[in-house]
């Protein structure tokens, strides 16, 4: 199947600093990438949708100035958590869908996730 990588897998940062998470589709063109947040023992909550070359669309309640998303190419999207606070500590997962993926237009391929801890 298609492969999506995510980096870093774990990051610890101090309150007030910014953290960048990268999501890459390795063997297909990711027309659309999605960013999710998952708190312990909870479901995945969609934060935003990004289409290559255009501005991200944020879900209700997600601060666009705090969670900056860039989808500059068909294989890379980045999520920057700005001025991080302890309540931003979570598991962040990206997914991608697009042309050339074996599952067709519907299937999303998930990255391995990034565990963010803000101290």
Positions in the binding site for other proteins (CB under 8 A) = 32, 34, 42-46, 49, 91, 93, 95, 97, 103, 105-108, 110-113, 115
Q: Which is nearer to other proteins, 87 or 106 (CB)?
A: 106
Q: How far is the CB of 69 from other proteins (least distance, A)?
A: 14
Contact 23, 76 (CB under 8 A): yes
Q: Which is nearer to other proteins, 19 or 111 (CB)?
A: 111
Q: Which is nearer to other proteins, 78 or 95 (CB)?
A: 95
List for the chain the helix, strand, coil content (%; round to 5).
Answer: 5, 50, 50
Q: How far is the CB of 83 from other proteins (least distance, A)?
A: 26
Q: What dihedral do alpha carbons 105, 34, 110, 115 form, nearest 10°?
A: 180
Q: How far is the CB of 30 from other proteins (least distance, A)?
A: 12
d(CA 16, CA 79) in angstroms, rounded, equals 16
Cα 90 versus chain centre, distance: 12
What φ, ψ does residue 79 adopt, rounded to 5°? Answer: -120, 120
Q: How far is the CB of 16 from other proteins (least distance, A)?
A: 27
């Amino acid at each position: 199947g298609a492969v999506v990588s995510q980096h870093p897998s774990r990051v610890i940062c101090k309150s007030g600093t910014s953290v960048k998470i990268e999501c890459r589709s390795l063997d297909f063109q990711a027309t659309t990438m999605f960013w999710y947040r998952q708190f312990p023992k909870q479901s995945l909550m969609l934060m935003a949708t990004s289409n290559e070359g255009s501005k991200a669309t944020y879900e209700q309640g997600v601060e666009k100035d705090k969670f900056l998303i860039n989808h500059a190419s068909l294989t890379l999207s980045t999520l920057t958590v700005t001025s991080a606070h302890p309540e931003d500590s979570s598991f962040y997962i990206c997914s991608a869908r697009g042309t050339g993926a074996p599952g067709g237009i519907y299937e999303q391929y998930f990255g391995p996730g990034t565990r963010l801890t803000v101290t």
